Structure 1
Amino acid sequence: MNITKTQQLADGLAQDAAWRTARNAATATDVETLTLDRAVLAGTDSSMSVKLDSWAAADQQRSGRCWLFAGLNSLRGDIMDTTGIKDLELSQSWLHYWDKLEKANYFLGAMAQLADRPLSDRTVQHLLDTPAEDGGQWNMFVALVRKYGVVPKYAMPETWSSSHTKSMNRDLATALRAGALRIRAEASVKDSVSAAAGVAAAHEEALAAVHRILTAHLGVPPEEFLWQYRDKDGEFHREGVRTPLQFAAEYLPDDLDDYVCVVNDPRETSPYGELFTVEYLGNVIGEDGPEPVTYLNAPVDVLKAAVVDALQDGRPVWFGCDTAAQTDRTRGVWDAHLHDYEGFYGVDLDLDKEQRVLTGESMMTHAMVITGVDLAEDGTPRRWRVENSWGDKAAEKGFWTMNDSWFGEYVFEIAVHRDRLPQQYRDALSGTPHVLPAWDPMGALA
């Protein structure tokens, strides 16, 4: 486009009264405020026919640990019911620490596997781009809990770095990239025995560097702790010393391995009723290799029905979504038509869910917990109550309202017990997953 053409377009805009109004407004005020549909806001309230939460919202602060917060928040209600504690948080730092170490080990192993590819290879570059990010998936959460257990927050409290992870992640990434280069150099040695020994040594050296940096930021995780608390009636309980695994075995559900990730991926290349996995996506490497991260693809109505079933059974639901789309962060509201950007600009911006995924416009960016639903008389969901992990200053003391229109467009993933799915989808869980490339949008970490 040249200057003459631009001037012609500008001259045309100058004759458009609606555009002049939009220009004057957008140069003076945030467009998110200008485009808010007041009718949608007025028609949204936070009352729910099913509501499970009776605790305070947690706060991940300046970190990307939402998936860990959501996982632990989905489980703490049971512990509160069992013990009578009024409000309880489990330590996010505990799982965060082990996740970083596990991800580092996973990344270094992947670098060894990919050492014969050029450094410019797309998969290699994708992994090098974020070797130690905060995000994760439900399967990764369960793998950590199974291996390391959980502890109350007082047993491993927050540090500055656990709540403000930017500097820590920067330095961990540097250490891992340096380790990746050394692994590649050792792997290029012609003698296979020497190459294998060199790769193993480089792997261990890099992992030791990660451990040193990580422990400086988050502290030394406890091997055991004294479990004591005061219940909501004021009675003090001293239960004795527990290890994290003992605590998890005593208080967490014993069927976490039966929970499955169900996604709504509308792309034609991802048929409903099929299992999928993503290359090099994971954290924990078990005795039989990496713990798999798998998804079952299903229509969004299957996801909604499973969530309603879980909530009516008293079970909060972990879910992943594109939280930044069509949102009002002050009031804590989501609706598919909350902002009228098209009307404001006079431009067609309509993309459906498949188009948004295909073009990178939308993907899972955040994980939270659904703690309630408002059902119409015919049993269909009207809106949902969501526990966010952004503190209690916004929305209803940190609990948001998601209108059902938004669920269909911007929710991508839920974690529910397999028995909550229709039989045809339960049967599909025994299939062989289709493998998606490492950079596929379904591999996005919350």
Structure 2
Amino acid sequence: MGSASSRPQPTSSLASAPSRASSGFEKASSSSPPPSSATFSLPTGHHAADRLHRISAEAFAGTSSRRGRPLSDVNDSLEKSSGRAYATVDLGAVKAWDADALAKPTSQLAAITLHNGAINTSLRNRSSETSSQHVYSHTLKRQGLPVTNQKSSGRCWLFATTNVVRVEVMEKLNLKDFELSQSYLSFWDKLEKSNTFLENSIELADVPLDDRVFGFLKTAPTNDGGQWDMVCNLIEKYGLVPKSVFPESYNSSNSNKVNWIVTLKLREYALELRELKKATMSSLSRAGGLTKEQMQACTVKALRMRKDVQMQEVYRIMAISLGVPPMPNDEFTFDYYDADGKFKSLKTTPVKFAEEQTGSFTTQGACSLVNDPRRAFNKLISIDRLQNVWGGRPVLYVNTSTTQMKDSVVASIKAGLPVFFGCDVGQFSETASGIMDTDLFGYELAYGIKLGLTKAERIELGESSMTHAMVITGVHLDDKGKPVRYRVENSWGADGVGKDGYMCMTDAWFDEFVYQVVIRKEHMPSHLWSIFQKGIDEDTDVLPPYDPMGSLASSMAIESARGAESEDEGEETPEDEYEIDAILSHDSGRFKKDEVAYLVSWKGYGPEHNSWVREEDAENAKDMLSDYWKNAPKLKTMTKSVGGSRAAKGGKAASRTSNASRKERSSSQTLSQSRRSSVRATSTSMDTVLQQASRRERTALKAMHKRPGFDSFEPTEDEEDNDVLSEAQLKRLDPEEANRQRRRMDAKRYHRLGDWEQVVKQIETVEKDENGKLLVFCVFENGSRVIYEASVVHYRCPQKLLNFYESRLRFNPKAADAAAAAAAAAAASASEGKTKAAPDGSEEQSATLQDDARGSEETQGDAAKDTAMEEGADAGDTNSDEDFDAGDTNTNEDLEAQVQHDEPTAEES
């Protein structure tokens, strides 16, 4: 179940809708050889034309009746024909089509409406919205919390399974909320899939590379998709761990690159194994003395020895990208608070955790009921070579009706058990409202058409298949006990998905687009369980690996229904949008005077990506702003308008960003997650400092930029990366300038990062400008040397700044002792009403006071130099390096001296 991407969607009238009459006619005419000319015409009313209509109608009637479609629709379609049959698009016919296209008032209204916006949005059925309420007569007593988020990965089947199992764990351990580690199972799944692909490559080493089966297997050998039986294999072999033991990483949530590099190597390994087999068989054949079976056994052993080396490389790639998970039998400690707030600690292994902490759940106690109307019911279905663990249990389905599936689902919900199910989520569903209903969109009325493919035909033609796995956690029954709608727990996060991450599926949608439910044996008919228990035999329908019923496990595409929905609705958004997760702090004057900026965290990204945004760019996150200002202290420098009306504003917390602002964040790192909010992730850079500075400040700052070894980056009018140079442009520059430009562009990328602790190599010095502002000279890991205001460095790399100051601290313990002794003496003197001399350490204390006086004189001298520098700046004079160094206020030595001089004197004590 790997892809939730949408496709051209059928209409609301599905199984009962009549088919396109022309399809049968085209099939009949295509079976006869075409005439010599491209087209031929028969006059209306001619006996030959009438006979052709009658023959065509009779021919199609047989096909139509078998598919349950009325003959009247066929005759109506043929009556509309112009009487011409042609192989090419005839311009004369196009004119007739054009006259008919907007003939009806409904077509004219649809044309006026649909070209202005997204089709799905325009055709949303209001009655479907009002009837699909998130209210249910039966729900689970204990709900799984929090709502999970698979992000940009196709691991829905792992999330659905762990969401089912975690309810049992929460009951067993008395937990308020809990998640099992999906990335733990995903790690071992990819490793097992890699091994299975290489074993298949050994078995199929003699078939052509374009063989349909091997061609399908090599398409996506280690994709994210999977099936119920496959996750059971993983749990039985590797067990389960809490999410805190092996949490998500960036690459587990954004698996595209890991999948790509592993797939690349696996394809390379497959060719190696093929070549090795040929060479080994050839050598053994020349040596002689072995039977064919012995030669084959020796060859397989040699190939598996080579495979072991290959698998070692695969493991290395995954361990580096995803982290090293616990071994199945290694002990770990799970510390937690239970629902009563009591601390608990559990020491166990992954295998024991799966066996002992999952309540009544067992991998052997349930099976998949599927509805494949192409095949006979009450039969076992299996998919050839569809597995992750080589030699593990195969994927098995028991084929039955949707009525039986729904009865079993209702029985499970009433028993307090969530139900894993597989469906085609992209059909007639809407993420934001969470509605899954065949009547949701009015395509038929708007276009004046009937889309009448049956469920079996949609499967056979590739129009529909299992694309996503979710969990049913509730059902609403009518007065007669029949299901009306189902509560669906998704794994796309809580924000922007239905009601707090839960969707509403109608009973009609279940009939058409649900293909699989996993039911425990006690809640299904005994004869269906017996079919499953019997296993694969001569009566089993074994389907090829490329059959649509295996699509849940073999899909290549990454699941992102939000991205699919956006694409379907015509939005230009797919990759570089970001959604604010929380507002952490605020500041005034960071970008402009009296303008408020917000420090925000981004949904799906760690604290290293936190960044400052303008108030106007966060304005659409109104709910968050309102909540923030209810609790946050207001800045003293704020005007009344700032935050005055803000608390009263409300609305949706997600907004969309312009392409240019999205480019700012994507320049530092490729971040691909769909449907993110519109905030410009702009950071305060030296360019911004120069833009906001006065003429006098700008002159001083530019002089500082001329400091040897530090690049001078001129400010630009806009803050976008419009001045990014391509490699071809860089090659046309002289080497020194090209290297400077590379460092400049790298530094701009650093501006977009939230945390600089890992990219700043060192802080060279800290100096003051003429207005007393602290400026920090940063040296980055790539060699870039840039100056920033201290306020920027405080947020970006506070530890580096602290290290700089601590490395320059010079303590004088004798002076400190003298100060303490002087304080004691002064206290004693005061109590006796007498004045006593300072103790023996007074000479050192006196020296310290002299140093203070000397430091004060130096400071006054520096201030005079600063004044001269300022006057020169007013005259338009640009300071030279020597002038600037002479006017430097805080050298390293000065800082050391000031730290020493901060000790209290005896008189101060």
Name the TM-score class by shorter chain. Answer: over 0.9
Report the Cα offset of residue 434 of structure 1. Answer: 2.2
Correspondence for 1:396: 499
Deviates more, 1:361-370 or 1:204-213: 204-213
Q: 1:409 aligns with which of 512, 527, 539?
A: 512
Correspondence for 2:829: none
Q: What SS is found at the alignment partner of 1:46?
A: coil
Q: What SS is found at the alignment partner of 1:144?
A: helix
Matches within 5 A, 1:185-204: 185-189=275-279, 190=282, 191=284, 192=295, 195-204=299-308
Matches within 5 A, 1:171-182: 171-182=261-272
Deviates more, 1:372-381 or 1:274-283: 372-381
Q: Does 1:445 align with 2:532?
A: no
Q: What SS is found at the alignment partner of 1:2?
A: coil
Q: What SS is found at the alignment partner of 1:55?
A: coil
Q: 2:353 aligns with which of 247, 260, 281?
A: 247
Tell me the distance in 1 between the aligned counterparts of 2:320 and 2:109.
Answer: 54
Dislocated runs of 4+, deviation >6 Å: none
Report the Cα offset of residue 224 of structure 1. Answer: 3.0
Which amino acid letter does the alignment assign opposite residue 402 of structure 1? M
Q: What SS is found at the alignment partner of 2:398?
A: strand
Report the Cα offset of residue 84 of structure 1. Answer: 1.7
Which amino acid letter does the alignment assign opposite residue 305 of structure 2? A
Q: 1:39 aligns with which of 124, 127, 141?
A: 127
Q: 2:377 aligns with which of 253, 272, 297?
A: 272
Q: 1:68 aligns with which of 152, 155, 158?
A: 158
Report the Cα offset of residue 158 of structure 1. Answer: 0.5
Matches within 5 A, 1:217-232: 217-222=321-326, 223-232=330-339
Correspondence for 2:366: 259
Q: 2:320 aligns with which of 216, 227, 232?
A: 216
Report the Cα offset of residue 37 of structure 1. Answer: 1.1
Tell me the distance in 2 between the aligned counterparts of 1:173 and 1:274.
Answer: 35
Tell me the distance in 1 between the aligned counterparts of 2:432 and 2:189.
Answer: 31
Q: What SS is found at the alignment partner of 1:70?
A: helix
Q: What SS is found at the alignment partner of 1:132?
A: coil
Q: Does 1:308 align with 2:395?
A: no
Report the Cα offset of residue 232 of structure 1. Answer: 1.9
Deviations, residues 195-250 of structure 1 (Å, cap 9, x unaligned): 334422332233222211111111000233211210122111123x2111111111
Tell me the distance in 1 between the aligned counterparts of 2:445 and 2:267.
Answer: 46
Correspondence for 2:106: 18
Q: What SS is found at the alignment partner of 1:306?
A: helix
Q: Residues 16 and 202 from structure 1, CA distance in 2 versus in 1: closer, same or farther, beyond 3 angstroms?
A: farther
Report the Cα offset of residue 331 of structure 1. Answer: 0.5
Report the Cα offset of residue 7 of structure 1. Answer: 4.6
Contact 1:188 1:195 in 2 (8 A): no
Q: Which has the higher contact order (CA 8 A, sep 6+)?
A: 1
Q: What SS is found at the alignment partner of 2:474?
A: strand
Q: Residues 86 and 183 from structure 1, CA distance in 2 versus in 1: closer, same or farther, beyond 3 angstroms?
A: same
Q: Does 1:48 align with 2:136?
A: yes
Q: Does 1:158 align with 2:158?
A: no
Correspondence for 2:115: 27
Which amino acid letter does the alignment assign opposite residue 401 of structure 1? C
Report the Cα offset of residue 418 of structure 1. Answer: 2.0
Report the Cα offset of residue 378 of structure 1. Answer: 2.2
Contact 1:66 1:368 in 2 (8 A): yes
Which amino acid letter does the alignment assign opposite residue 260 of structure 2? R
Q: Which has the larger radius of gyration?
A: 2
Report the Cα offset of residue 427 of structure 1. Answer: 2.6
Tell me the distance in 2 between the aligned counterparts of 1:302 and 1:15.
Answer: 46
Q: Residues 262 and 20 from structure 1, CA distance in 2 versus in 1: closer, same or farther, beyond 3 angstroms?
A: same
Correspondence for 2:481: 379
Tell me the distance in 2 between the aligned counterparts of 1:248 and 1:255.
Answer: 9
Contact 2:144 2:166 in 1 (8 A): no
Tell me the distance in 1 between the aligned counterparts of 2:158 and 2:309.
Answer: 28
Q: 1:102 aligns with which of 192, 216, 225?
A: 192
Q: Does 1:283 align with 2:388?
A: yes
Q: What SS is found at the alignment partner of 2:218?
A: helix
Deviates more, 1:196-205 or 1:416-425: 196-205
Deviations, residues 377-434 of structure 1 (Å, cap 9, x unaligned): 2222111101000000121100111111111111100111123221322232215232
Correspondence for 2:825: none
Tell me the distance in 1 between the aligned counterparts of 2:273 and 2:248.
Answer: 33
Q: Does 1:419 align with 2:507?
A: no
Q: What SS is found at the alignment partner of 1:330?
A: coil
Tell me the distance in 2 between the aligned counterparts of 1:64 and 1:423.
Answer: 34
Which amino acid letter does the alignment assign opposite residue 338 of structure 2? D
Tell me the distance in 1 between the aligned counterparts of 2:341 and 2:299.
Answer: 63
Tell me the distance in 1 between the aligned counterparts of 2:439 and 2:361.
Answer: 40
Contact 1:65 1:96 in 2 (8 A): yes
Tell me the distance in 2 between the aligned counterparts of 1:441 and 1:143.
Answer: 22
Q: Residues 395 and 221 from structure 1, CA distance in 2 versus in 1: closer, same or farther, beyond 3 angstroms?
A: same
Contact 2:383 2:545 in 1 (8 A): yes
Which amino acid letter does the alignment assign opposite residue 529 of structure 2? R
Deviations, residues 83-120 of structure 1 (Å, cap 9, x unaligned): 22110000000000000001111111111111111111
Percentage identity across aligned positions?
A: 37
Deviates more, 1:131-140 or 1:428-437: 428-437
Deviations, residues 3-38 of structure 1 (Å, cap 9, x unaligned): 614454234325444334333333221111122111
Q: Residues 359 and 233 from structure 1, CA distance in 2 versus in 1: closer, same or farther, beyond 3 angstroms?
A: same
Q: 1:295 aligns with which of 375, 397, 406?
A: 397
TM-score under structure 1 normalisation? 0.95
Gapped regions of structure 2 (runs ≥ 5): 1-87, 285-294, 554-909
Tell me the distance in 1 between the aligned counterparts of 2:144 and 2:207.
Answer: 52
Q: 1:9 aligns with which of 94, 97, 102?
A: 97
Tell me the distance in 1 between the aligned counterparts of 2:115 and 2:260.
Answer: 35
Deviations, residues 322-365 of structure 1 (Å, cap 9, x unaligned): 01101011100111221121222222222121111111111100
Report the Cα offset of residue 279 of structure 1. Answer: 0.8
Tell me the distance in 2 between the aligned counterparts of 1:54 and 1:438.
Answer: 34
Report the Cα offset of residue 266 of structure 1. Answer: 0.5
Tell me the distance in 1 between the aligned counterparts of 2:112 and 2:305.
Answer: 63
Correspondence for 2:435: 333
